[in-house]
Amino acid sequence: MGRSGDLPRGLVDRYKARDGRWPDDTGCHVLHVDMDAFYASVEIRERPELRDRPVVVGGTGGRGVVSSANYLARTFGVRSAMPTAHARRLCPKAVFLPPTFSLYQDVSAGVMAIFRDVTPLVEPLSLDEAFLDVSGALRQLRLTSGQIAERIRARVAAEHGITCSVGIGSTKFVAKLASGLCKPDGMLVVPGDEVLAFLHPLPVSALWGVGKRTAERMAEVGLHRVGDVAATPLPRLRRTLGNAAAEHLHALANGHDDRTVEPESVDKSVGAEETFEVDRTDREGLRQELLHLSERTAAALRRRGLRGRTVSIKVRFGDFTTITRSRTLSVATDVTQEIYRTACRLLDEQTPPGPVRLIGVRVEQLGEDAAQQLFLDAPERGWRDADQAADQARAKFGGAAVRPASLLARNPDERTHYRQ
Amino acid sequence: MKIRVERDGLADAVAWVARSLPSRPPVPVLGGILLDASNSDALTISGFDYEVSATVGVAATVADGGRTLVSGRLLADITKALPAQPVEIMVDGARVSITCGSAKFSLPTMPVEDYPQLPAMPPHAGELPGEVFGLAVSQVAVAAGKDDTLPMLTGVRLEINGDKLTLVATDRFRLAMREFEWKPAPSMTETGEVAVLVPARTLAEAAKALGTAGKTVEIAHGDGLIGLSGSGRRTTSRLLDTEFPRYRQLLPSEQTAAAIIDVAPLVEAIKRVSLVAERGTQVRLEFSESGLKLSAGGDDEGSAEEELGVEYTGEPVTIAFNPTFLQEGLGALHADRAELSFTTPSRPALIKPVDDEGNVVPGYLHLLMPVRLPG
């Protein structure tokens, strides 16, 4: 998405409320709700003394990247995904905090619950954003989309102490663009009959699927604004962009986006990965990391009542070459030890040596765990029972309450902490 | 080296040896096949990867003796594709030429000096008819684990106790056991019970190649190796050096219900109802005196059910299995009728072959662990 600096002046204001009245939102049944600087806002809520200071949440190690920065920090040029070290240079006065994911998950769950009070058609995109289809709710609640959005914004602020921005449109694409343009703590309605007027002045980078490279290529042939794309005949676009991309972008530029809001899609896989501060070559250390990741993955599976049959590992080497290796088990599992054992085999047998930058564990081919294949020599109480007992202890006493002994030396909150 | 051999014998021999070669050899020579024409009237074809060795001789006209090492995969592909005419193999410097009819191949050779010495055949332990061995191994190997994170489960345990031979394998979800008589070597009658664990894949391959009706299979054992030979083929394999589960204590000692059922219609019905069972989910079997009802699936994915006639004694019971395991177990019986026996839906069930009179045929059992249903 292009920075708002690229936008023609006045464009956004046209779609904001004027004199307490919102533009006509008939037919605008898609809401895109996006928390403002989510991690940073949650941290500030926990420590109000940080309210007037630049706050940056992210990996604090040598290779950490910024996950979230509040708007004050952003005025210094700090952006998400930027190396933390760079952010420190831009804004040395900022407060740098490591992420506390468990807290964000709790807040996110609460916020998503507010959305689901409005409509069952909630499609979370991540912890801090979701699409809502409110067409049913409009009839039921006898409210307009704009009024629903105002209620959601008020409840999120009142119940969770953070702000969010809402884009309202007739399609997902428009709604998402709109929320991006009214941040922070804003709201934007793009009426159905003004979609083209809204889209066409935007830079091509606003189109979903256009990154820096594509934008450059498009600029070479004179395509700068969305309107340029809409006005270009498809055959010409195809020559520049290839068939698939041309059709996709042409449709978007003309306001067509037939993606519907898909509530909580069934997970296809569950996994966890870790980037190291310093590339690692010692296999023992990598195996230990696999244990840690297997534990997180298995716990996530159990929390969702899922089991998977395929275990895969991902290894990214120092030169960024990345491999994935997988193995399918005869029976689906959610047991830490089984996932770990398989992951170790994949590391030992199918992973070439070399300095490792990132390692990940993933379980695929998921199914619900209603029925359970029994083992012949299963002890009365096995690893699964141990895992469940540990889950309960963690639920009660926090994430660090029970851990494999070989991981005890690690600090649970500092997730990329290693002693070399 | 310069020799002439028949195409069919050569292609069969090379294909068999190539099957035991590693798919990704750690060093190139281990992916090679050794052609040895040191004898005047035979070509010996061998492969070895430090785990498994395979050797077979084929009749040949040897003009010039010698040995050479070539890529096994390539040689197997070439010999399979050759026309049905005599094949001439000739080594010239660092290359070997293969000529058959008007087809001509020239392959690079690998250094014979780098090739490991094949292990000698261990001492003879006994012998048995090929078809008995072939059937027994296929009945048991099906239950061996394919997951090599648990190496002790990837083998077939071979127990020699005088003139009784027992084969067992289990992947913890099922267990197959076959007992039968064989002809032990005189030396074996004094050693008492001997038990070894043979990699299931190797044993199954060997049994396929050696288990021909009318031929004899010889088993040899010693020094951490098992040797199997017959029909001019010899193979050795390193034994698995791990502990097999103590399985005898896990076999059910009682049964409270039993059904006698025709195998083929049951297998057909399982195949049909499990069409709605997503991969790996269970098929349910409801036994009662009025018959057997099979069902699978549910509201979301669709459901199926089918009823079959069955001779049943015991309280009505509903028990569920992985359909693949159940089909494989029934298939491994090699019988037209089967007895399914069990106690409770969460304890092991047994499948055994049954003769025409409805009596259990001793010597084979297939244990299946059920799937525990929710609720």
pLDDT digits (tens, 9 = 90+) for A373-384: 888 876 545 677
Pairing state of beta strands A55-58 and A66-69?
Answer: antiparallel
Q: Examine the pLDDT at B207 and tell me if it is beyond 70.
A: yes
A386 touches chain B (CB under 8 A): no
Q: Name every residue in B having a CB less than 8 A away from some CB of A.
A: 145-149, 170-175, 245, 247, 250, 278-282, 320, 322, 346, 348, 367, 369-374
pTM of the model: 0.62
For residue range A174-208, list pLDDT tens digits in order. Answer: 999 999 988 889 999 999 888 999 999 999 988 88
CA distance B50 to chain A (A): 17
| Beta strand A95-97 pairing with A66-69 | unpaired
Query: Which residues 6+ apart lie within 8 Å of B353 measured at CB?
Result: B333, B334, B335, B337, B338, B339, B360, B361, B364
The whole-angstrom separation of Cα B68 and Cα B109 is: 7
Tokens encoding A133: 């289809």
Closest partner residue to B371 (CB to CB) among A329, A330, A371 is A371
In whole angstroms, what separates CA B340 from the centre of its chain?
24
Q: Mean pLDDT across the stretch B317-335? A: 95
Q: What is the pLDDT of residue A8?
A: 59
pLDDT in tens, B297-314: 887 778 999 999 999 999
ipTM entry: 0.77
Nearest to B132 by CA among B327, B334, B353: B334
User: Which stretches in chain A have pLDDT values below 50?
Assistant: 1-5, 380, 411-420
CB–CB contact B374 A370 (8 Å)? yes
| A211 or B238, greater pLDDT | B238
Question: To which residue do tokens 């040596």 refer?
Answer: A353
Is A128 annotated among the ligand-binding residues?
A: yes
The helix (run of H) or strand (run of E) holding residue B166 is strand B164-170
CATH code of the domain made up of B2-114: 3.10.150.10
A327: nearest CA partner in chain B: B147
Tell me whether A354 touches chain B (CB under 8 Å): no
Contact criterion met (CB below 8 Å) for A340 and A290: yes
Contact A374 B282 (CB under 8 A): no
Distance CA B372, CA B351 (A): 18
B124-248 carries CATH number 3.40.50.1980: no
Q: What is the pLDDT of residue B370?
A: 94
Q: What is the pLDDT of residues B257-307, one digit of tens each?
A: 999 999 999 999 999 999 988 766 789 999 998 899 999 988 777 899 999
Give the pLDDT score at A397: 64
Which candidate from A342, A365, A376 shows the least CB-CB separation from B369? A376
For an interface test with B, which of A306, A374, A375, A380 has the most B Cβ atoms less than 10 Å from its Cβ? A374
What is the structure's pLDDT at A396? Answer: 64
The answer on pLDDT for B176 being more than 60 is yes
Which among B149, B171, B374 has the least Cβ separation from residue A341?
Answer: B149
List the single residue in A309, A330, A365 with the smallest CB-CB distance to B173. A330
Instruction: Report the b/e string of A397-414 with b at 16+ CB within 10 A.
Output: eeeeebbeeeeeebeeee
pLDDT of the residue at A419? 30
Distance in angstroms (rounded) separating the CA atoms of residues A288 and A271: 16
Residue A4 or residue B69, greater confidence: B69
Q: Does A380 touch chain B (CB under 8 A)?
A: no
- CB nearest A377 (choices: B245, B278, B371): B245
Any B CB within 8 A of A4 CB: no
Residue A416 has a pLDDT of 35
Confidence at residue A379, expressed as pLDDT on a 0 to 100 scale:
55
Question: Does A376 sit within 8 Å of B348, measured CB to CB?
Answer: yes
Question: B186, B163 in Cβ contact below 8 A?
Answer: no
- The residues of A carrying an active-site annotation are 129
At residue A4, the pLDDT reads 43
**A5 or B157: which leads in pLDDT:** B157
Share above pLDDT 70 across residues of chain B, in percent, rounded to a whole number: 99
Task: Find the closest chain A residue to B324 by CA distance.
Answer: A330
Topology of domain B252-368 in CATH is DNA Polymerase III; Chain A, domain 2 (3.10.150)
**Most confident listed range (B109-123, B147-161, B289-303):** B109-123
- What does the pLDDT read at residue A342? 93
CA angle A169, A172, A173 (to 5 degrees): 90
Q: What are phi and psi of A162, to 5 degrees?
A: -135, 165
Interchain pair A373, B373: CB under 8 A: no
Q: Hey, are the CB atoms on B369 and A377 less than 8 Å from each other?
A: no
Residue span(s) of chain B under CATH 3.10.150.10 come to 2-114, 124-248, 252-368
Which chain B residue has its CA at the smallest distance from A329's CA? B147
From B196's Cα to the closest Cα of chain A, the distance in A is 20
Q: What is the pLDDT of residue A415?
A: 41
Query: What is the mean predicted confidence (pLDDT) over B177-200?
Result: 89
Check CB contact of A409 with chain B, cutoff 8 Å.
no
Is residue A358 within 8 A of residue A316, CB to CB? The reply is yes
